[in-house]
Structure 1
Amino acid sequence: MDIEFTTENLDDRDRIPFWVDVASQAFYSHEFETSGSSFEGRLTSGVVDNIALTRCDCGPCVVTRTRSDTLRDDLDNYIFSIRLQGRSALRQDDRTIMLEPGSVILHNVCKPLKIEFLEQTSSLHVSVGRELIRSRVGDLDAMQVLSRGAPTTGLAVDFILSLAERVAGVDETLHPRIANHVIDLISMAVGADGYKREISAPRELALRRLKSEIEKCLADPNLKPARAAGLAGMSVRYANMLLAEEGLSLERFIVQRRLERCRQALADPHQSRRMIGDIAFAWGFSDHSHFTRRFRAAFGMTPAEYRAQHGLAKARA
């Protein structure tokens, strides 16, 4: 990643105001306190499609995000954080978590929080839209503390650390696919590790399990509501009741996720030579005309028009 900002060459009197401005843009609006004017910090970042990777190295300080701050920038993100060095205390929802080297958390920036950096710290953060995680594992209201020793969390951490080192040299046309992998890995880490250790409502657990089973089988044309519900160990009626809180039915959710996978493939330059029908069939649609109608209803244009809109020379049907 490229260096965006460092306090190294600034006068002491300029360091804090410049740092607060840049850090607010990189993360979110917040209040900042530190003792003295010799604060040192560095931010490095890179954008991969719809996610942002940011490494933050900073000295002792206190960051407070108030309710007014959340209203000011109106962000709707989660941040997946990997602590590389140093200790800090993060407080959100009347709960305080001590972060040490190796700690991994997912927290919601829509809500107030306070972080006290106790010493020189280094962290790698992934900022991702909350809906992108929510569509995979449901809404995560509480801060999720993950175990890096868990296989899925370790896999996500290793991939993200490797990506941060190599992202500058990655072909930008691959960014959407890579970002999707990152979001999937974070979601799997939360689904497999986080909620098992954090007691959640049975309905929330059931919804996450249902969505996880659907994601695994999207490409199977035989994935119908009854089979999806059965894989998740519930009735179709209960599955529909869970999804109704999001304005969806089981059938609509399956189609929605298939359409999203097709949309991603159609915008991918590396798949531009694939027939549109082949993409549709690969993601579980068995009828080309039905797929086209569904796609137009969801995105306001035909699959061919969508592909052409993304600069892929001649759309193939």
Structure 2
Amino acid sequence: MKLRDHFTYSSAGRTEDQAFDEYARLYSHGSDVARGEGPFWAEVRAWRLPGFILFDRRLTGVVHSRDMRVLSDGFDHIVIHAVLEGRLKWSDAAGSRTVNPGDVLFVDTTQPSRTLSRDVHMLTASISRHLVESAIGNARVLHGRLLSPPSTLLLRDFLLSLVRWLPMLPEDENPNYSRVLADLISATLTDEAPGGAAARRLHSDRLTAIERCIAARLGDRDLSADKIAAATGLSRSVLYRLLQSHGGVNQLILTRRLQAVRSAIDNGSTAPLSELAHAYGFASESHMSRRFREAFGKSPGAYRRIMTALPESDPEKGHRRWRGWMGSLR
């Protein structure tokens, strides 16, 4: 049974300075991290699912900032913070918010912002923009939107259920959690969902069908637009239009193949690289290695040696996994 991609981090058993340095490294791909008031403490659990990444975090004494980095890091997704305990302070150039237990805050990662955590337990979901926009249309209006109970309760409870049960559910069951999440976002933000809901739902369902088709056929070296169109019931013109923002059909197939190889290495696969190349549809091991190096800056063999040398508890391992996951949100 293949378990879902995940990582964990805890500052327990470390000095405060060591723990903070490790935590800052863990988050260095997505945020500038600084010490806040009082002692520092962190516990993080994270899971990658189709269309979003889910975090269960307990934090105190830490500040996360996304200022100038929004101009260069390429992040273009939406973040939901659902506070369970404590209070989260959030601010941007327009003002500040206090996120209390039961509240849900929406943040656009293309916009600068800052959070201060003090004795906070919260669930955070990093969600692909197209998934959110399938629910409400233009997601850019959400930045800094703060909602309170009772409108947030179903969304919060769904995230809580995922955190509770994901560790026991195999990835190969592949239920459509992303569709449920989109529907709950739509229900939570009823005033932000203008006309055209049916068209947005159709667009999202078509993208989901394409992604599932590709995922099920990664081992097919001859996977093509014609095969995907036939399997999904879409015309070639519709297929190309839907995937234009992904760089086209062939680019999306290549991206998903590379992500699958990286995920296999991240999760400890000992299969020879030649077997991974065959399993994920590359013409040869050298073809896979060349494309992997172009995408990630290292050959798959070099990347495997790095990951194998890192203990499972090393935050560097979580950092590298998380970097790989972020590609699935684009």
Identity %: 17
Contact 1:173 1:268 in 2 (8 A): no
TM-score (norm 1): 0.63
| Pairwise CA distance, 1:156 | 2.1
Kindly provide the CA deviation profile for residues 129-154 of structure 1, in whole angstroms up to 9, marking residues without a partner as x. Answer: 2233234422323322123312xx43
Deviates more, 1:259-268 or 1:168-177: 259-268
Kindly provide the CA deviation profile for residues 196-220 of structure 1, in whole angstroms up to 9, marking residues without a partner as x. Answer: xxxxxxxxxxxx422314346x4xx
Kindly provide the CA deviation profile for residues 25-74 of structure 1, in whole angstroms up to 9, marking residues without a partner as x. Answer: 4xx221412346x42111111111231111111113333322x2223422
Kindly provide the CA deviation profile for residues 252-293 of structure 1, in whole angstroms up to 9, marking residues without a partner as x. Answer: xxxx55642542453576xxxxxx87963xxxx7xxxxx355
Contact 1:134 1:140 in 2 (8 A): no
Cα distance change on mapping 1:301 and 1:108 into 2, 3 Å = closer
Q: Using the alignment, how far apart are the partners of 1:257 and 1:45 within structure 2?
A: 25
Matched, 1:260 2:212: no
Cα distance change on mapping 1:294 and 1:167 into 2, 3 Å = same
Matched, 1:7 2:1: no
User: SS where residue 69 of structure 1 aligns?
Assistant: helix
TM-score (norm 2): 0.60
Give the equivalent residue in structure 1 for 2:127: 128
Kindly provide the CA deviation profile for residues 215-273 of structure 1, in whole angstroms up to 9, marking residues without a partner as x. Answer: 46x4xxxxxxxxxxxxxxxxxxxxxxxxxxxxxxxxxxxxx55642542453576xxxx
Cα distance change on mapping 1:145 and 1:35 into 2, 3 Å = closer
| Pairwise CA distance, 1:91 | 0.8
| Pairwise CA distance, 1:87 | 1.3
Q: Which runs of 5+ in 1 are unaligned?
A: 196-207, 219-255, 270-275, 286-290, 313-317
Specify the code of the residue in structure 2 equivalent to 1:212: A
Give the equivalent residue in structure 1 for 2:284: none
Give the equivalent residue in structure 1 for 2:195: 210
Q: Using the alignment, how far apart are the partners of 2:75 and 2:28 within structure 1?
A: 12
Contact 1:176 1:268 in 2 (8 A): no
Give the equivalent residue in structure 2 for 1:294: 238
State the Cα RMSD in Å.
3.5
Give the equivalent residue in structure 2 for 1:189: 188
Give the equivalent residue in structure 1 for 2:171: 172
| Pairwise CA distance, 1:172 | 1.4
Moved over 4 A (4+): 276-279, 296-302, 309-312
Higher relative contact order (CA 8 A, sep 6+): 2
Cα distance change on mapping 1:188 and 1:265 into 2, 3 Å = farther
Q: Which runs of 5+ in 2 are unaligned?
A: 217-228, 261-278, 281-330
Matched, 1:160 2:159: yes
User: SS where residue 45 of structure 1 aligns?
Assistant: strand
